[in-house]
Structure 1
Amino acid sequence: MSYATALSGLAGASKDLDVISNNIANASTVGFKSAQAEFADMYASAMTTAVANQVGIGVRVSTVAQDFTEGSITSTNRDLDVAINGNGFFELSQNGATVYSRNGQFFMARDGSIVNADGLHLMGYAADANGVINPGQVVPLTIPTTDIAPTVTRNIGLSFNLNSQDPLPKTTPFSPTDPQSYTGLTTMPVYDSLGGTQLVNIYFVKNSVGSWTAYGTSGTPPTPVGPSANGSLGTITFDTGGNVTSPNPMSFAFTIPNGADGGATTQPLTLDLSGTTQYGQSTGVTSPPNIDGAPAGELERYSVGPDGVITGVFTNRQSRALGQVVLANFANPNGLTNLGNNLYGQTVEAGVPQVAVPGSTNHGQLQGGAVEESNVDLTSELVNLITAQRDYQANSQSIKTQQTVDQTLINL
């Protein structure tokens, strides 16, 4: 029996060495979780034997438990490197089946889909052309490779200060070609439905302290716009504190020739002058114009936020959501089965996957431009390696000792 006992010890020590060696081999594997061999003693079954008289018959490996504590997070500055800070696993599609991983090294394939090094698709919620995320279905995530369509300008926001000490214009009436007929001027680009641009000029003419008239022109040479033939948009009045008293609301509506059809139709615009003041300071724009609309744009860069939203920034200065990464969590992660290639499979012991967006209850947040290193502690593993080696040597010595005893008996 002592031979069998020692042999079980050798098998256990060998299994322990296998686990430790695997940990050391994967010390640099992104997202790898270290494991530990756990053992249980064995006794012969005998219901009538007193506990004090029982002699063990060896050891067995009861389980190989993985340590799912988080590894350190290292910045890589790659757009599609993503680390999980907390609980959860990435969902990946493998030939239609769902598998799970902590390795967040992803790439954009030729067709725009987000994949790992083995070509498995990252799963999440898709976004439509307007950047609205659909949380109703988990699908393979894709980054658009085509240009986004232009959007037409409808609104212009402009804050201006009109100097109360400016003199009246030297010439009248207002003429866009005569700088002495107006006091202030600002020029802004607007976009038609095809993404073409044309300039809109807004002029301010002082009538008296507290009263100014706004005019508008577009194109080259400047053509008057607005409800009147001379381009007058309306009169702005101020109180003695420099605040607007009329119009209320502080906006003007006008139209310009539509560049999308060569001017055959008109493009309506609204000029919002909220925040405009009349102080004794120089005349000019007090904040950058806020103009909607944009030309067509190409994807310039993208990033993954803590909530898993992939945001794309385009060459036309627009940004929108391209999709959202989801995470799956399990009641018993140790019940997952290792599939290799940094992948895990669901089992009954692991429980049903709880799929949610990062940052929700019991789901970690994401960190873009970073990866989660393996949680292997090399110092501890090297000490464990020495311990396992000594266990193996000691069990070998048990066999050697038993062999010596047997030889003594044979020699009698």
Structure 2
Amino acid sequence: MSFRISVSGMNAASSDLDITAHNIANVNTSGFKSSRAEFSDVFAVSAYGLSQTQIGAGVRLEAVAQQFSQGNIDFTGRALDMAISGQGFFTLSDNGNTVYSRAGNFGTSRDGYVVNPAGQRLQVYPPNVAGGFDTGRMGDLRIPNGDAPPSATTKVTIQTNLPADAAPPTVTPFDPNDPTTYNQTTSMTIYDSLGAAHTQSQYYVKTATANQWQLYTYVDGTAVGAAQTLQYSTSGALTSPSPGSITLPAYTPTNGSAPLNITIDLGLSTQYGNAFSIQTQTQDGYATGRITGIDISSEGVVSARYTNGVAKPLGQVALTNFANPQGLQSLGNNAWAETFSSGQPLHGQAGSADFGMVQGGGLEASNVDLTEQLVNMITAQRNFQANAQMIQTQDQIAQTVINIR
């Protein structure tokens, strides 16, 4: 029996060395979680229970417990590298099977899907029409490789200050080609449904009526509607039209695009002092754009950035947590699978309860403490040597007994 006890001790020490070697081998593996050997003693139990004089039968490896402590986050600058700061796992699809990982070293497949080195696809919550994300379902994250479609201008916002002491032009009637027939002019670029650019110009003409102006709008040199009357109060605030919104008649470009239906917002324009100025001049349309980069927010929102200045959300990274992460089954390739011991998966979003934040452009390093592992290696080696010495001692005792005459 004593030989078997010592052999069990040698096996236990060997298992401890194997686990330590596995930890040390993965000291530079992104998202790796170290393991710890947990042992229990062994007693031979009869049908009548355990005697008070019963001697134990050795030791056995009870469990290889994974340690899910946070690893350091190393910043790489790669657009699709991600790290979780806090609790949670990335959710991945492995040919239809759901697996989980802490390693965020993602890239793209030839089809544009965001995958890890094992080819498992990152799962995200898809965007919905309301501007948020559909957290009721998950799908593969895919980076578009085509151009972003254009969007026609529908709203123009202009915030100007018109000089209160301006005099009406001495030359009439208004002629956009004759600067002496108007006081001020501004222009901006707008876009049609095909993404083609057009020039929209506004001409401001002071009238003989106090605090009153006429606004003429032209697109590509063509008048759009009649003149609009702007009336200001004695304190310089716009009173008409109220609340400062002007809807222009439809303008149809000659390139085959849909008609432009534009509303001009002048609600913040004023009439102060003696200087003309432009504070704001914006429009909501844009041309066709090519993708220039990927942005990832701390909430895990992945957006594609285009040359036309548009940032289009592609999805929000789906995180998963478990009541007992140590119950997960390791699958290799930095992936784990759900088990009965881990409990049901809890899906959520970065920054919400029980979930950490997502760090774009970074990777979580292995949580292996190399110094601790080297010390543990020496301890396991000493344990193995001590058990081997016990076998040698027991052999000497057995030889002594055999040699008795």
**TM-score between the two structures when normalised by the length of structure 2:** 0.94
Structure 2: 5+ residue runs without aligned partners? none
| 1:179-218 equivalent positions in 2, closer than 5 A | 179-208=179-208, 209-218=210-219
Map Cα deviations across residues 281-319 of structure 1 (whole Å, 9 max, x no partner): 4202112x2201211222221122222221112111112
Per the alignment, do residues 78 and 260 of structure 1 end up closer, same or farther by CA in structure 2, a change over 3 Å counting? farther
* Aligned residue number for residue 224 of structure 1: 223
CA shift for structure 1 position 320? 2.0
Map Cα deviations across residues 268-288 of structure 1 (whole Å, 9 max, x no partner): 22111111111114202112x
* Aligned residue number for residue 124 of structure 1: 124
Map Cα deviations across residues 326-385 of structure 1 (whole Å, 9 max, x no partner): 112112111111111111122111122112222232222211111111111111111111
Q: 1:240 aligns with which of 231, 234, 241?
A: 234
Per the alignment, do residues 405 and 281 of structure 1 end up closer, same or farther by CA in structure 2, a change over 3 Å counting? farther
* Aligned residue number for residue 280 of structure 1: 273
| Number of residue pairs aligned between Structure 1 and Structure 2 | 402
Per the alignment, do residues 262 and 374 of structure 1 end up closer, same or farther by CA in structure 2, a change over 3 Å counting? closer
Per the alignment, do residues 170 and 394 of structure 1 end up closer, same or farther by CA in structure 2, a change over 3 Å counting? same
Give the aligned residue type for 1:218.
V
Give the aligned residue type for 2:384.
Y
Q: Does 2:349 align with 1:352?
A: no
Q: Distance in 2 between matches of 1:30 and 1:178?
A: 69
Q: Is the 8 A contact 1:71 1:372 kept in 2?
A: yes
Q: Does 2:247 align with 1:253?
A: yes
Is the deviation greater in 399-408 or in 248-257?
A: 248-257
Counterpart of 1:23 in 2: which secondary structure?
A: helix
Q: Distance in 1 between matches of 2:238 and 2:279?
A: 15
CA shift for structure 1 position 129? 8.5
Q: 2:301 aligns with which of 309, 312, 316?
A: 309
CA shift for structure 1 position 142? 1.3
**TM-score between the two structures when normalised by the length of structure 1:** 0.92
Q: Distance in 1 between matches of 2:132 and 2:254?
A: 27
Give the aligned residue type for 1:241.
S
Counterpart of 2:138 in 1: which secondary structure?
A: strand
CA shift for structure 1 position 173? 2.1
Q: Is the 8 A contact 2:166 2:274 kept in 1?
A: no
* Aligned residue number for residue 162 of structure 1: 162
Q: Distance in 1 between matches of 2:261 and 2:290?
A: 27
Counterpart of 2:166 in 1: which secondary structure?
A: coil
Q: Does 2:288 align with 1:296?
A: yes
Is the deviation greater in 156-165 or in 124-133?
A: 124-133
Pick the structure with more strand per residue. 1
Is the deviation greater in 147-156 or in 19-28?
A: 147-156
Q: Distance in 1 between matches of 2:365 and 2:32?
A: 7
* Aligned residue number for residue 381 of structure 2: 389
CA shift for structure 1 position 130? 8.8
Percent identical across equivalent pairs? 42
Counterpart of 1:286 in 2: which secondary structure?
A: strand
Counterpart of 1:236 in 2: which secondary structure?
A: strand
Q: Distance in 2 between matches of 1:382 and 1:321?
A: 46
Map Cα deviations across residues 116-167 of structure 1 (whole Å, 9 max, x no partner): 1121111122236896633332222212222222111111110001112334
CA shift for structure 1 position 104? 0.8
CA shift for structure 1 position 80? 0.9
Is the deviation greater in 27-36 or in 136-145?
A: 136-145
Per the alignment, do residues 49 and 368 of structure 1 end up closer, same or farther by CA in structure 2, a change over 3 Å counting? closer
CA shift for structure 1 position 404? 1.8
Counterpart of 1:259 in 2: which secondary structure?
A: coil
* Aligned residue number for residue 320 of structure 2: 328
Per the alignment, do residues 298 and 84 of structure 1 end up closer, same or farther by CA in structure 2, a change over 3 Å counting? same
Q: Distance in 2 between matches of 1:49 and 1:19?
A: 32
Q: Distance in 2 between matches of 1:104 and 1:308?
A: 12
CA RMSD of the aligned region, Å? 2.0
Counterpart of 1:173 in 2: which secondary structure?
A: coil
Per the alignment, do residues 386 and 260 of structure 1 end up closer, same or farther by CA in structure 2, a change over 3 Å counting? farther
